Structure 1
Amino acid sequence: MEYYHNNFSEIQGKLAHDHRRSLMAKPTAKRCVLVSGPVIVGAGPSGLAVAACLREKNIPSLVLERSSCIASLWQLKTYDRLRLHLPKTFCELPMMPFPQEFPTYPTKQQFIQYLEEYSKRFDIKPVFNQTVVSAEYDCSLGLWRVGVIEEGAAEAGVEYVCGWLVVATGENAEVVVPEMEGAEEFGGEMVHTSGYKSGEVFSGKRVLVVGCGNSGMEVCLDLCHHNAMPSIVVRDTVHILPREMLGRSTFGLSMWLLKWLPITLVDRLLLIVSWLMLGDTSQLGLVRPKTGPIKCKNLSGKTPVLDVGTLDKIKSGDIKVCPSIRRLKHNAVEFVNGRIENFDAIILATGYKSNVPSWLKENDMFSKHDGLPRRPFPHGWKGEHGLYAVGFTKRGLLGTSLDAIKIAEDVKLHWKSDSKYFTSSQLTWS
């Protein structure tokens, strides 16, 4: 890596020269901070996992977080009844298991508690309210330059310069809100699941949930529990599996079977057991993809729905299944089959997307189309010039942990405690 050949005085001189030029052009030029270890963008589970793995190897890091807390998606943008969809044994971060007293499927509050304890154990102290607006590799320095806007500032106020950059913003950085014809006419409440907390405020109301993934299905169930009248839009095929089968979690059973059998056969077994337990879901308007659930997940990243009771509500008629939306009208929705129904509110369970292309100035590792690594799992964690990605595997927290361990090991291969390296406090301009 090129930056190993730059000694401290050369780096210091180059940055000082650049800063003087910036001050001449603009007296309020941003501060420049030289960071000795990796800069990690994002303080969600992915960023925390990498910081902990680096700490375990005595390598310092700087974690930048745009929100005011760790795991902001979990703390600020999830509904109250949320639980981990997978057993806790598959959701542990490196080097720290969940407390034994936690249930198999921890609640949202328990998972947040786990992450807070994780941060304390590994002494991870993110710098909050720091929005990264640009990150670019400087070939002349052999280092990354990371521009940050601090909360309340109108423009970038700090530039961090580092040898390693870890992108830990993940697959769920920005909400996806589809354009719908007539949205301005609807008049009723329309909210993304990131703003949904409980069905209590929708009691007695007709609510249309758009999106039939795990979130959409669980929101419908929550609405039922609060005496709302939910319907769900199913625009595409979907695999629905029991959360547990044959006395084990469906995910755990799948992982065990894959050790001995090919994906095609495991998929076939899962579908047979699901049919015996759940029946033919296509009769309910929930048509399965032609590709099996595991293969479908590997190819497209589309996660099968693990049923926690929603299917029974669909069978009983408490939740209605609707086709795609053609357009919205005043307090009503017209579907593609021509049917028009009245609704008081619409909840968009339309997911999230990566925001990496908006700030990372790099063309090789990440796709500009979807903001995900171009190379598929398990090869998408490492790029060029000390660039890494974590939390983009579409394999949940298990994939995150595997990548975090690999990143820390790779950084350690190049880490040397000698005079060529420096601490963050040795070079700071205001």
Structure 2
Amino acid sequence: MAMQTTAIQEDKGNGIFHKAMNSESKPVWIPGPVIIGAGPSGLAVAACLKERGVPFLILEKERCIGSLWTLKTYNSLQLHLPKETCKLPHMPFPPEVPAYPTKQQFISYLEAYAKHFAIEPMFRQEVQSAIYDARMGFWRVQSNESEFLCRWFIVATGENAEPVLPNIEGISDFKGSLIHTSRFKDGADFTGQKVLVVGCGNSGMEISLDLCNNDAQVSLAVRDKLHILPREVLGRSTFSLSMWLLNWFPVKLVDWFLLICSQLILGDTQKMGIRRPKIGPLEQKNSTGKTPVLDVGAFSKIKSGKIKVVCGVQRFTASGAEFVDGHVENFDSVILATGYRSTVTSWLKEDNFFNENDGYPRNPFPDNWKGKNGLYSVGFTRRGLLGSSIDAHRVAEDIARQWNCETKHLRIES
């Protein structure tokens, strides 16, 4: 028995679907893939599909594209890597944009990218469930407003969907201001305050620098070992130089070179209370996904004593924190630079492709992009925007091959 559906009209000019809903609540049939997320990953795969003539629909839960960048990042943020490694497929950054674009420059690039490829997501469409209907041979995607049916389903929500809030004893007892970095905007809001930053990844380091530059007293809680590298070595991006060296030398040798350069440029981080892991930064990235910190000036503030490194937090008190070494301090504000997590497994009703423990594809890069029954992922490589672009090309090519050879004329009777 055929299921009644509402049609989505395809605009042949731009490959975007326009809803033609009637008054009844019926599933909406999408001839091409449904993409979840209008961040860089979703835009990248949409552009690659567009270049191959495959129509698509993007569902985005927020009101804008690039919502993480637009709504949940601090004003002083810059790309950690040079723009050549962060461009999306088929469109470079404008030549006037500097080597390390600012937050606003990157948002403007995303907006120009969407306009260039005529990508028009459906906003405020939060996916509540997505399940493959084996009887029908299609995905059923339920949002807060509609249900969609599609042959291909692309998860492009990225690795940073939801803030991670640590379960530290007494955290609810703290009477000062306590926020996650997703709500931090500007260090000027904390001028004159005594602030504890919990977490020492790139965000924690950069927010500490922003606070310090705005005359806050900053303490940076460092619990785990980590690698800090200079953003540039010999006038070249550390990342770009590393990728070039890996074409010729093994990871361990490149790691050795990076650590020697770091020692010469930054000095001994352990003297400042920041211990390095036993394995090198690239080897650690490959094995655990943990990204080394690329220093943009925070470490010089640490060496000068303007940013104080403290050990991990044991518990919070009403007025501050007790640290694992036993000392207690009072703080006006606490900023949790504790990262984000994927939330895919909370709504994707599938237990083979994505790992329910961390929300990442079970198969690591480069085999992370394709599951079964037309399920794909973009942006879960732990390799930033470059990884998203690699995924986008692979996914679009695979779907385009099927679209052109098998299902271009598929129709569901309404």
Cα distance in structure 2, aligned partners of 1:330 and 1:67: 35
Cα distance in structure 1, aligned partners of 2:203 and 2:83: 19
Cα distance in structure 2, aligned partners of 1:397 and 1:87: 11
Conserved in 1, the CA contact under 8 Å of 2:319 and 2:330? yes
Cα distance in structure 1, aligned partners of 2:169 and 2:89: 46
Please list the CA deviations of residues 275-303 of structure 1 after superposition, one character each: whole Å capped at 9, or x if unmatched.
Answer: 11111101111101111001101111110
Cα distance in structure 1, aligned partners of 2:238 and 2:110: 25
Correspondence 1:223-372 to 2 at 5 A: 223-372=211-360
Aligned pair count reads 397
> Which range is displaced more, 109-118 or 327-336?
327-336
Please list the CA deviations of residues 287-329 of structure 1 after superposition, one character each: whole Å capped at 9, or x if unmatched.
Answer: 0111100110111111000001100100111111111111111
Conserved in 1, the CA contact under 8 Å of 2:4 and 2:27? no
Cα distance, 1:416 vs. partner? 3.4
Indicate how the Cα distance of structure 1 residues 160 and 257 shifts in structure 2: closer, same or farther if over 3 A, else same: same
- Counterpart in 1 of 2:56? 61
Cα distance in structure 2, aligned partners of 1:171 and 1:283: 33
Structure 1 stretches lacking a partner, 5+ long: 1-12, 18-27, 150-156
Conserved in 1, the CA contact under 8 Å of 2:4 and 2:26? no
Conserved in 1, the CA contact under 8 Å of 2:255 and 2:281? yes
**SS of the counterpart of 1:74?**
helix
- Counterpart in 1 of 2:194? 206
Correspondence 1:12-27 to 2 at 5 A: 13-16=1-4
Cα distance in structure 1, aligned partners of 2:351 and 2:168: 32
- Counterpart in 2 of 1:143? 138
Cα distance, 1:93 vs. partner? 0.3
Kindly indicate whether residue 118 of structure 2 is the aligned counterpart of residue 123 of structure 1: yes
Conserved in 1, the CA contact under 8 Å of 2:161 and 2:342? yes
- Residue 410 of structure 2 aligns with an amino acid whose one-letter code is Y
Aligned partner of 1:112 among 107, 114, 124: 107
Q: Aligned-pair RMSD on alpha carbons?
A: 1.6
**SS of the counterpart of 1:166?**
strand
Kindly indicate whether residue 376 of structure 2 is the aligned counterpart of residue 388 of structure 1: yes
Please list the CA deviations of residues 36-87 of structure 1 after superposition, one character each: whole Å capped at 9, or x if unmatched.
Answer: 0000000000000000000011100000000000000000000000000000
- Counterpart in 2 of 1:20? none
TM-score (norm 2): 0.94
**SS of the counterpart of 2:126?**
strand
Cα distance in structure 1, aligned partners of 2:389 and 2:63: 24
Cα distance in structure 2, aligned partners of 1:422 and 1:128: 26
Aligned partner of 1:99 among 78, 86, 94: 94
Indicate how the Cα distance of structure 1 residues 321 and 29 shifts in structure 2: closer, same or farther if over 3 A, else same: farther
Cα distance, 1:30 vs. partner? 4.2
Please list the CA deviations of residues 323-351 of structure 1 after superposition, one character each: whole Å capped at 9, or x if unmatched.
Answer: 11111112121101110001000000000
- Counterpart in 1 of 2:77? 82
Where is the helix percentage greater, Structure 1 or Structure 2? 1
Correspondence 1:2-17 to 2 at 5 A: 13-16=1-4
* Superposition misfits of 4+ residues, deviation over 6 angstroms: none
Cα distance in structure 1, aligned partners of 2:173 and 2:353: 42
Cα distance in structure 2, aligned partners of 1:175 and 1:114: 25
TM-score (norm 1): 0.90
Cα distance in structure 1, aligned partners of 2:391 and 2:408: 30
Cα distance in structure 1, aligned partners of 2:204 and 2:211: 11
- Residue 291 of structure 2 aligns with an amino acid whose one-letter code is T
Cα distance in structure 1, aligned partners of 2:408 and 2:111: 35
Structure 2 stretches lacking a partner, 5+ long: 6-22
**SS of the counterpart of 1:215?**
helix
Cα distance in structure 2, aligned partners of 1:172 and 1:137: 25
**SS of the counterpart of 1:394?**
coil
**SS of the counterpart of 1:290?**
coil
Kindly indicate whether residue 150 of structure 2 is the aligned counterpart of residue 162 of structure 1: yes
Kindly indicate whether residue 65 of structure 2 is the aligned counterpart of residue 73 of structure 1: no
Cα distance, 1:419 vs. partner? 7.2
Cα distance in structure 2, aligned partners of 1:246 and 1:301: 26
Cα distance, 1:197 vs. partner? 0.2
Cα distance in structure 2, aligned partners of 1:108 and 1:122: 21
